[in-house]
Each structure stands twice: as C-alpha cells, then as structure tokens.
Amino acid sequence: MTDHAIDRLLPSEATPSGYVLRMSRPRFWFYLAGPVIVGVAYAADAPSELFGPLAVALFAYFLVPANVFLYGVNDVFDADIDEANPKKDDREVRYQGDRLVPVLVVLTGGASILFLPTLPTAGAVAMVGFLLLAIEYSAPPLRFKTTPLLDSLSNGLYVLPGVVAYAAVAGKAPPLAAVAGGWLWAMGMHTFSAIPDIEPDREAGIETTATLLGESRTYAYCAACWLAAAAVFGTVHPFFAAVLGVYPVFVAGIVVADVAVDRAYWWFPALNTAAGMVLTLAALWVMLYA
C-alpha cells in the first residue's frame, strides 16, 4: 500500500481522531507490533498459543495504543524542533498544543501497567523498560535523543515488545543473543531514520549520532550495527544471520545507487515487514513440520 493510499484511508487531520491516528505514525505501527508477532511465533509450542488472550491483547496494545504513547511523548517534547522539520509538512503532523494528546499519552502509557500482573518477571521487566525508554528518549531529564550514541542505544526499545510477548507465551526470557541482535538491529534502524533530520536538528541545536557523524559516516554506522546484529543473532541460528544480513546490503545499495535518504527512509516499513514475515513463517514451519 502506498503512502498516499494510507493517507486517504485515515480521517482528516482536522478531526481529533484523524490527528491522533496520523500522530501515531500508521506507516510504522508494525515497528512495535511486528516484534510481538515474531516473539509469539517463536515462543509458542502449538498453534493454539498463537491466539491466546494475552498474546492477542499484547498485539492490540502495541499496534496502536503503544504508538500513540511513544510518538505522543515525542511530539509534545519536540514541538519547537518540529517546526523546521520537513517530514512534518506532508507525511506526519505537528503537535499544536492540543490538550487531548497529553491525556492520551498518560492513558496509553498507563495501559501498559495493566499487563504487569499477567506477565512473568522477564516480561514485566521488558514492559517497564519499554515504558521508561519511550518516555526518556524524548522527555527531560534524560532526553536520550539529544545525546549522541545514547539516542541510538536507547532505541533498542523497539525490540522490547517482542521480549514481552515471548515471555508471556513461553514463561521465560528469549535467548540473550536474540535480544542483543534485535537491539543492534533497532539501533541501526533508528540512526538511519535520523539521517533526513540532520540539517533540521543542526539548525535547532540538537546533537544526535547522525549530526555528530554526518551523512556518509552515519551510513557506515548503520551498516556496522546491522552487520553486528546479523553476527550476534546468527549465534542463535544461521537463518537469522541470513535475514538480518539483508540490511547492510540494502544500505550499501542505497549509497552506491545514490538514492536520496529522505526517499529511502520510507522504504523501510516494507523491508521490515518482509523481514518480520520471513522470520514468522520460519517459526511456524518449525512448529508445524519439524
């Protein structure tokens, strides 16, 4: 589905529901919900566990409410910076001080706490970690996004929904190498997404890993993160290395073909969805036929 098709499906930005949905970045909903699917698929021992009440509830939470929470915090605390960000001109929206947004941030963030009594320790720790990192990435006093390297490191938060889901179904944490590999993958994804913001961030006086390295060295940093992710995840099984190995090849292709980064950035939802689908189908194959 194209970006324009997505925009046509959403309510108008002028309506409260339309604004909130657009603020939640529908193109990126599966960045949080996708790891839930993968986590459940690898934790489940039987098809019935794929659709257990807790697994379904976690998917529903991380599909929309968690995105409203994550991006709502981001937009509230980045309102001044976003005035100069061209991404907000068409594909995203600017926070204009609507009081509904902080209320929804509190409600959707608070909803994550309701899961804690239902989760084993590993899942509860991962959920609390998601909540804290989602807040402190954008909000004072830590505001990780304004500190080079910490902005990248903190974005491992995108892997935590998968940890929560795996623990919810399996009753234990996933393999540490899988978490570490996923974390490195998320670091590369985040830093690549910061490349189009280099100039707006510099104009606003914001320091990030991307503004520190500059565009060409940030490409190299992202490729290094993805290579490391493939190597670490590959210790769990070589298949995972093969899937994640697509990412450094992809970024190399972008550089060689001289594709504009603000264009390539919008290709990643499709790439990530495809990678997640391959990982999930492999897990289902093993469950059903191994």
Which is nearest to 75 in space by CA: 29, 137, 125, 157? 137
| pLDDT for residue 10 is more than 70 | no
| pLDDT for residue 6 is more than 70 | no
| pLDDT for 92 | 66
Question: Counting Cβ atoms within 10 Å, is residue 276 exposed (0-12), middle (13-18) or buried (19+)?
Answer: buried
| pLDDT for 181 | 98
* Pairwise pLDDT comparison (82 vs 167), residue with the higher score: 167
| pLDDT for 86 | 59
**Residue 90 — very low, low, confident or very high, per pLDDT cuts 50/70/90?**
low
**How many CB atoms neighbour CB 287 within 10 A?**
16
| pLDDT for residue 94 is more than 80 | no
What token pair was written down for 9?
Answer: 């499906």
d(CA 233, CA 226): 10
**Residue 140 — very low, low, confident or very high, per pLDDT cuts 50/70/90?**
very high
User: For tokens 């992809």, what's the residue?
Assistant: 250
Q: Is the dihedral of CA 167, 170, 171, 175 positive or negative?
A: negative
d(CA 110, CA 103): 11
**Residue 204 — very low, low, confident or very high, per pLDDT cuts 50/70/90?**
confident
User: What is the tens place of the pLDDT at every residue in 221-255?
Assistant: 999 999 999 999 999 999 999 999 999 999 999 99
d(CA 211, CA 198): 5
User: What is the tens place of the pLDDT at every residue in 184-198?
Assistant: 999 999 999 999 999
User: What is the tens place of the pLDDT at every residue in 104-133?
Assistant: 999 999 999 999 999 999 999 999 999 999
| pLDDT for 98 | 80
Which is nearest to 253 in space by CA: 288, 223, 290, 213? 223
Distance of CA 171 to CAs 45, 54, 209, Å? 12, 12, 36
| pLDDT for residue 262 is more than 90 | no
Share of the chain above pLDDT 90, in %: 79
C-beta separation of 213 from 192 below 8 A: no
| pLDDT for 18 | 75
Residues belonging to the chain: 290
CA 147 to mean position of chain CA atoms: 19
C-beta separation of 174 from 162 below 8 A: yes
| pLDDT for residue 199 is more than 60 | yes
- Is the pTM above the cut of 0.75? yes
C-beta separation of 35 from 162 below 8 A: yes
What token pair was written down for 162?
Answer: 């998968």
Q: What are phi and psi of 207, to 5 degrees?
A: -100, 130
